Structure 1
Amino acid sequence: MPHRILILGGTTEARQLAGKLALRADLSVTLSLAGRTESPVTQGVPVRTGGFGGVPGLAAYLEEAGTALLIDATHPYAARISANAADAAQLSGVPIMALRRPGWEPVDSDSWTLVATVAGAVEALGEAPRRVFLALGRQEVAAFEAAPQHHYLIRSVDPVEPRLAVPVATYLLARGPFREADERALLVEHGINVIVSKNSGGEATYGKIAAARAVGIGVIMVRRPELPDVPSAETVEALAAMVDHFLEPVAERGV
């Protein structure tokens, strides 16, 4: 019987990992999505959508499904989901691994202001009106209603509903990857003088960081949250190579 693997996804790497593992006849892969994106990219493997009901619900699911391995491949800022996954794995006795995309590091000519939270980013914008590119996703932008003096450019995969209660906001619907040249053109077209971003890491959305450097504007960067200390890898290939190590003890128990 194939080993059942549950991947908590929502990232490009999660989809890539699921596709890579699904090629193996000895594995049965299910990808779980939170359901926050209205039109997710086709995943190529069986998909489960929606929450589990916290730690007890996820632990129960893992046990009932006969899951041999749980893989946390969620977004680097999905701290609550990652914490729940680690706790549910411990509660159920199911091994867990994590795919942890490395964050970006500032280089020469970058001008980053590091903040701990999105609320901190709002405060870091200051009182004087600025033209701000919010590259955070629609879940986070409501906090900027506290600073209505700024002009906002807001990009998201799905529409921001309700729209921000601010005098000036422009909305763009787009899905990455985003090229540096296109990002530079976007910044110039809208007269942007500061970007607010999470340190998501990866190449798909790095274009805006490189573009900010090229045009000489600052980035207010929201630091990554603390995540559980579980076995992890930085790339799809490295994690896929580690899977058998975590499945061997399960096979020995006859699960």
Structure 2
Amino acid sequence: MTPPRSTVTPLNILIFGGTGDANRIAADLLQEFGSDVRLQLSLAGRTSAPRLPDGIPVRIGGFGGAEGIISWLGSEKIDLVIDSTHPYATQISSHIAQACHAVATPCVQFQRTAWQKTDKDRWIMVKSLAEAAQILPDHGKRALIASGRKDLAHFEGLEKTWLLVRTVESPKEPFNLAFGEWLIARGPFTVEGEIELLQRHNIDVIVSKNSGGDATEAKILAARELNIPIIMVERPGVSPVEQAEKTQEIIEKIRNTLAKH
């Protein structure tokens, strides 16, 4: 841990979270820098019972777009923003980037490493969930939909493919699952558990986003083991801000910033 600099004003850091990555980053920064940083974690409030880090103030709720973020950055005198939202949360990441550019607040977007396809994987790459739903009947009769609870409406009305829809919570938007079954579950999952799930429900195709990370990678490994195809939604483009794939990169940036602070 970096020795505290008691005579210097702490660096105010706002972390946009909603992922396990954000919690780990917050805990690592607190351990590394202690009283040299003042952390805030912002959550959109999409999950009713989010996992929260200990000892770090949490703000829950939207800001009202880029203008709202700009106002918060000013009122809280934020020195650095860390965008550790979900890789597919493109709207909030866009608002964060716009706000930080508008008021010249440094911003780092944490991008967890995407899953990498191997020779043993059967991935069908698509650009959107809408495209995934359109081609789904051509690739299987019983599908695991493991792409989150947003935009499930694309899968309504499918009569040729039975759906096992797995989400952390029930979707907020109405979704008529006439031909399928709900499964409410939160990772991390095990490969053995995923293999058992896929075999028990006779799943022959999976729909997933390339979210990366360990918590839900087991379905990718299970599909590889069982030779099940995955309709994989490609990663969206990154925000026009500084990028980091490892917490250590963020730590180094903060260390350099503190040296000038």
TM-score scaled by structure 2? 0.91
2:191 to 164, 180, 183: 180
Alignment of 1:102-113 (within 5 A): 102-113=113-124
The answer for the alignment partner of 1:73 in structure 2 is 84
Q: Structure 1's 94 and 230: CA in aligned 2 closer, same or farther, altered over 3 A? A: same
| Count of equivalent residues | 250
Q: For 2:258 and 2:204, how far apart are their aligned partners in 1?
A: 50
Instruction: Report the AA paired with residue 179 of structure 1.
Output: T
The answer for the alignment partner of 1:214 in structure 2 is 225
Cα contact 1:109–1:213 (8 A) shared by 2: yes
Q: For 1:35 and 1:246, how far apart are their aligned partners in 2?
A: 30
Identical-residue share of aligned pairs (%): 39
- Classify the secondary structure of the residue corresponding to 1:35: coil
The answer for the alignment partner of 2:68 in structure 1 is 57
The answer for the alignment partner of 1:85 in structure 2 is 96
How far residue 240 of structure 1 moved from its aligned partner, in angstroms, is: 2.0
The answer for the alignment partner of 2:45 in structure 1 is 35
The answer for the alignment partner of 2:11 in structure 1 is 3
The answer for the alignment partner of 1:239 in structure 2 is 250
Identify the range of structure 1 (191-200 vs 75-84) with the bigger mean alpha-carbon deviation: 75-84
Cα contact 1:69–1:246 (8 A) shared by 2: no
Q: For 1:224 and 1:3, how far apart are their aligned partners in 2?
A: 32
Residues 1:121 and 2:129 aligned together? no
How far residue 248 of structure 1 moved from its aligned partner, in angstroms, is: 4.5
Q: For 1:29 and 1:143, how far apart are their aligned partners in 2?
A: 38
Identify the range of structure 1 (117-126 vs 224-233) with the bigger mean alpha-carbon deviation: 224-233
The answer for the alignment partner of 1:94 in structure 2 is 105
Residues 1:18 and 2:26 aligned together? yes
CA deviations over 1:143-173 (Å, ceiling 9, x no partner): 1004243211111111235663242221111
Q: For 2:178 and 2:19, how far apart are their aligned partners in 1?
A: 33
Instruction: Report the AA paired with residue 40 of structure 2.
Output: T
Instruction: Report the AA paired with residue 30 of structure 1.
Output: Q
TM-score scaled by structure 1? 0.93
Q: For 2:139 and 2:222, how far apart are their aligned partners in 1?
A: 23
Q: For 1:35 and 1:62, how far apart are their aligned partners in 2?
A: 19
- Classify the secondary structure of the residue corresponding to 1:107: coil
